Homo-oligomer: A and B are copies of this chain.
């Protein structure tokens, strides 16, 4: 491949022959000229490949993938978001699907088959070579967020009695197989397949070819269990600059290798997923290629909870209808106070989520966080309270209205940042996902408090507020 990124880097999307590449894909797939189809696919960036596939109907997608060689189809599948990849594989004929899955790495196989229907997965596994199917079954037994679910089984494994020459011979004999992913380390095992050492490939350069690798390997290498959580893996790769780590089972047997970039990718997915969850996208993912009723139902599951929370908050207003009737101007300021408190609270939630992820704060340090938030809440609440009080006075002419809304906003800001700062820590401490729950909890409570403060104070000062 001689195409060079340097020639078109940082240019805005280079003018394409066709802004609707899926039409080209379909045309070439139907033309019976596989080379043209291959060329067409190779010219597209990863994002455009995903986009093109998503614009085809299920049947058209199957046509294109069947027209490609299994290897090229696997390249294409590899670039899709997981949900889309699984859907696409799930729609194909079993033998086509199996041929494509066969070309994927073991961790990708596990990902895809873990997400298709169990009937389709079983059918595809039956069509794969036995050892491959066994490896995949083992990997899919692990959750997506532990080392076992992120590792690949393709690992350079050598017996401790081999010489450097024999290792180099094995490497060059299998060069094609290894060229797919840059291999950095060979792992040395004993006769029972237990991990006893590691050799950076680079060290083979300096060693005598007749030496036994047991003498040049690094003994007792750092490793992780197949049950190690994603959080611990991130910490491991933070603390060490390795590009990969051997994965062992409880008995010390080498099961596979986990690559730094697999952990990075999963960690980034978790961050993206958290953002989506905090905005009410249940499950942390939604692609607009999903059926409408599915998208609607998933969004509705979160929205309906919010409706009830909102009705609860609104009932506070209902309690003070008489005060509202007497001082109608209050109705103008209720949404301002609830919205501004929500904004302040959300800022505190975001900073807490950030500090938790960096390890700068522990879930047990809620009091410390609360103190740091209250100080900022006091300052900002005062400024905002003054602004809103001024607006109320200008609007209505009544000084006491300004006082009521101003003090209410100041107080509610302090409440909001207190809750916003501490709720993520408390949720995390009790094992609840802070990304999903922080938002609605915060909004409902601050709304209720805000309405209660404004209307409660107004009720107390009713005589001063009603124009005689």
**A interface vs B, CB < 8 Å?**
1-6, 9-10, 45-48, 50-51, 54, 79, 81, 146, 168, 171-172, 175, 178, 180-184, 200-202, 204-206, 220, 222-225, 227-229, 232, 235-236, 238-239, 241-243, 245, 248, 260-261, 264-265, 267-268, 271-272, 274-276, 278-281, 285-289, 292-293, 295-296, 299-300, 302-304, 306-307, 310-311, 313-315, 317-318, 321, 324-325, 328-329, 331-336, 338-340, 343-344, 346-347, 349-351, 353-355, 357-362, 369, 372, 375-376, 379-380, 383-384, 387-388, 391, 395, 443, 447, 451
Provide the bound-state CA to CA distance between A250 and B357, in Å.
39
**CB of A297 to closest CB in B, whole Å:** 9
Selected A-B contacts with CB under 8 Å, 6 pairs: A182-B242, A183-B202, A201-B201, A300-B384, A311-B391, A324-B328
Residues in B with CB closer than 8 Å to A293 are 379
Residues in B with CB closer than 8 Å to A329 are 318, 321
Provide the bound-state CA to CA distance between A221 and B312, in Å.
64
Which 6 pairs across A and B sit closest by C-beta, in order of nearness?
A47-B359, A279-B350, A9-B228, A46-B238, A296-B379, A331-B331
Q: Are B279 and A349 in contact (CB under 8 A)?
A: yes
Contacts A268-B271, A271-B275, A360-B51 hold; do A336 and B350 have CB atoms under 8 A apart? no
Contacts A10-B229, A317-B331, A372-B288 hold; do A54 and B360 have CB atoms under 8 A apart? yes
Residues in B with CB closer than 8 Å to A310 are 335-336, 339-340
Residues in B with CB closer than 8 Å to A347 are 279-281, 299, 302-303
Interface of A is mostly: helix
Q: Are B299 and A344 in contact (CB under 8 A)?
A: yes
Residues in B with CB closer than 8 Å to A10 are 146, 225, 227-229, 232
Supply 17 further A-B pairs (C-beta < 8 A) apart from A171-B206, A279-B347. A4-B223, A5-B225, A10-B225, A81-B358, A180-B241, A274-B275, A276-B351, A287-B360, A296-B375, A299-B347, A300-B383, A300-B384, A302-B343, A306-B343, A307-B336, A310-B335, A335-B338
Residues in B with CB closer than 8 Å to A361 are 51, 288
Residues in B with CB closer than 8 Å to A146 are 10
Contacts A261-B260, A271-B275 hold; do A359 and B224 have CB atoms under 8 A apart? no
Question: Closest residue to A4 on the B side, CB-wise?
Answer: B222
**CB of A208 to closest CB in B, whole Å:** 13
This chain's copy number in the assembly: 2
Residues in B with CB closer than 8 Å to A232 are 5, 9-10
Q: Are A2 and B220 in contact (CB under 8 A)?
A: yes
Question: Closest residue to A45 on the B side, CB-wise?
Answer: B235
Q: Are B359 and A336 in contact (CB under 8 A)?
A: no
Question: Closest residue to A184 on the B side, CB-wise?
Answer: B182
Provide the bound-state CA to CA distance between A395 and B317, in Å.
12
Q: Are A321 and B328 in contact (CB under 8 A)?
A: yes
Provide the bound-state CA to CA distance between A380 and B299, in Å.
8
**CB of A331 to closest CB in B, whole Å:** 4
Q: Are B202 and A171 in contact (CB under 8 A)?
A: yes
Provide the bound-state CA to CA distance between A127 and B279, in Å.
49
Q: Are A343 and B280 in contact (CB under 8 A)?
A: yes
Q: Are A79 and B238 in contact (CB under 8 A)?
A: yes
Q: Which residue in B172, B299, B313, B372 is a CB contact (below 8 Å) of A376?
A: B299
